[in-house]
Chains A and B, each alone.
Chain A
Amino acid sequence: MARLVLMFNKQVVKEYPLMKESVTVGRNEENTIQINNLAVSGYHARIDAAGNDYILTDLQSTNGTFINDKRVVSQKLSHGDNIIVGKHVILFVGAGAEAADAKSSAQKSDLDKTMMLDTAKQKELLSKQKDSGQASETTAKIGVISFIEGADNLGEVELKKKLTKIGKADTSEIQLSGLFMPATAATISRRPSGYVITTMGGKIKVNGEVIKDSVALKDFDTIEVGKVKFQFYQKETSEKQG
C-alpha cells in the first residue's frame, strides 16, 4: 500500500497509509493529516487516488504546496517525492516501491540505519491527536480471575503480577487449600501475546480439558485447579501496563 510519511526537521512524525480515495492536508482538525502550524492553511492540499496513481492538488493555499522544491497546482506523485507544506515535509512512498528500490535508492539506505524518533515532537503530536480524538488509543487491560467454586471468600482477584503462582505455598499469589493441592499447581504469566496458564504439576483443566503444558487464556475461559473452579477475563484499567 502506498503511504505518506509526515516529517518535521528531518525527523519522522507519523506515517499514514493511503487507505482512502482521498486524503487532505491542513491545519483544520477535519483533515486526514492535520498539521498545527501557522504556515499551513486550514485546507492546504488534497491527494486523490486515480487508478494506480495518486494526484496531489493544492487547495489554493496561502503559502503554496511544493513537490521537491517546485511549486505545484496539481501533479501526479512519484515514489520518493517530497511534498512540502509550510515547514513540514511529506514523503510519498509508492505501493510496492519498497521492494523495487531496496537495492538502489539512497532514501532507503538512509532509513536503513536504526534511528530514534524525536520523542519531544512525537509526544507533542500524540497529545494533539488525543485532543482531537484521532488516535485509536490502546487501553491497558488487566487479567482478573473470578472464583466460581471451591474457594471461600476469594471472590475476584486481579492479576497484578507479571507471574502469578497458584497453589498451596505461602509464597503463592493465589493461595488455595486442599489435601492434594501442590505447593505450586499452576502459574499464569503475562506475555507479549497475552495471558498464558501453565501447569506446574497440578491437574489443570481449561474449559473442561486437561492441559498438557501451557495454553493461552481467552476471556471467560473456565479453569479448574483440583476442586477449585474459576473464570478468567480481562478488564480495562487506569493503570498503565508495561
Chain B
Amino acid sequence: MQAKSYGITDVGLKRDGNEDSFSVQDSLGLYVVADGMGGHLAGEIASNISVEIINKVFKKWVEKDASEEEVFGEPDVSLSRKGNYILGGIRLANRVIYELALEKKEYHGMGTTIVVLLVTPSMIIAANVGDSRIYLVRDGEIERLSKDHSIVAEQVEMGIMTEEEAENSPLKHVLTRNLGSSEEVTPEIFEIEPANNDCFILCSDGLTDLVNDKELLEIADNETEPEAICKDLIDLVLKRGAHDNATIISVLLTDIQRPKSGIFNKIGFLVEDVIIRLRKFVKKIIQ
C-alpha cells in the first residue's frame, strides 16, 4: 500500500487568526484535523494540543504494541486494537483540554472538534467529534465516514428536519459534542476495508460551509494529486468569501492488493486450506 497526502490550511478572508490545526504523517498513516473554539488564543491552543497528543500517544502505543487495556479509558470491544489507540488518544486529548480549561480563567470555554484518519493495508479507521468531516471518494461516489455532532445533524437523524433545512439553519454551528467541554467524550469511530485508489478528504467546516458534497466529489474525481485537490478546494473557498478558517487534508491510496477470484487464486485458497488443516492437525497432535 502507498499513501500519498497533502494538507493545507487558510485563515480565510474574515477571521484574524487561524484556530485550525492539522497533522500529516505518511509514515504512521495518521492524519488529523482539529477546529478550535474559544476566545483569545484558547481555540488555537485547544486544536493544537489535541493534534499533538493524538499523534504522540498513537506513535507510542504502536511502537510498544500496547494492549487495549494499556490505552486511556475502557477499551471498546467493537474496535480493532488500532481503533482503540485512536479512541484512547481522543479521550486523552479531551481530558487534557478539559482540565486546562478548568484551571486557567483565560482558557475557560475552550474546545475543539477533531477528525482522525488512520490508513493501514488491512483497515481504514475514521474517527470524529464535532462537525469536522472525513469523506471517502471511491468508484465515483462520495461517502461520509464521520457523523456531525450538531443540533441540526441530530434533528435530521431524528427526522425532525430535512438536510436542506439543516443546511440553512442559523443553528448550523451549534455543536452537541466537542473536546474540552466535559470530562468524558464519546467519538464516532468507523472501521472499513481499504480499496485501491481510495481518496480521503479531511476538513474543517470552513470548507463544508461553502462547498457541498457533490462539488467535493467533482474536484476529487477531476484531480489525480492530493495537492491539486487541496488547492482547488481552497481556491473555491476563497472565491466564495472564506468567512472561516479552512483546513483540508487529502490522502490517496494506491497499490492495495485485493485478490480477484480466478483460477490462480483458487489454487492459492486450496493451498491455504491445506496449510490451515495441517496446522489444526499439528495443534491436535501437540495437545
Task: List residues of A whose CB falls within 8 A of some B CB.
Answer: 1, 3, 5, 12, 14-15, 17, 93, 98-99, 107-108, 111-117, 119, 122, 135-136, 138, 160-163, 168-170, 179-183, 187, 189-193, 196, 198, 200-203, 213-214, 242
In the complex, the answer to whether A116 meets B158 with C-beta atoms within 8 Å is no
For residue B129, give the distance in angstroms from its CB to the closest CB of chain A: 11
Given contacts A112-B243, A242-B189, contact A180 B270 (CB under 8 A): yes
For residue A133, give the distance in angstroms from its CB to the closest CB of chain B: 14
Which residue of B80, B161, B190 contacts A17 across the interface (Cβ within 8 Å)?
B161
In the complex, the answer to whether B269 meets A108 with C-beta atoms within 8 Å is no
In the complex, the answer to whether A179 meets B181 with C-beta atoms within 8 Å is no
Q: When each residue 123-159 of chain B gets 1 if its CB lies under 8 Å from chain A and 0 otherwise, what string results?
A: 1000000110000001100011111000110010111
Question: A169 contacts which chain B residues (CB < 8 A)?
Answer: 276
How many residues of B are counted as interface, with CB atoms below 8 angstroms from the partner's CB atoms? Answer: 65
Interface 9-mer from B50-58, B172-180, B213-221:
B172-180
CA distance A53 to B159 in the complex (A): 25
Which residue of A136, A203, A213 contacts B160 across the interface (Cβ within 8 Å)?
A136
Which residue of A108, A192, A202 contacts B145 across the interface (Cβ within 8 Å)?
A192
Task: List residues of B whose CB falls within 8 A of some A CB.
Answer: 35, 37, 76-80, 83, 109, 111, 113, 123, 130-131, 138-139, 143-147, 151-152, 155, 157-161, 165, 168-176, 178, 181-182, 186-193, 195, 205, 243-244, 258-261, 265-266, 269-270, 272-273, 276
Question: A203 contacts which chain B residues (CB < 8 A)?
Answer: 261
For residue B71, give the distance in angstroms from its CB to the closest CB of chain A: 16
Question: A192 contacts which chain B residues (CB < 8 A)?
Answer: 143-147, 188, 190
In the complex, the answer to whether B139 meets A113 with C-beta atoms within 8 Å is no
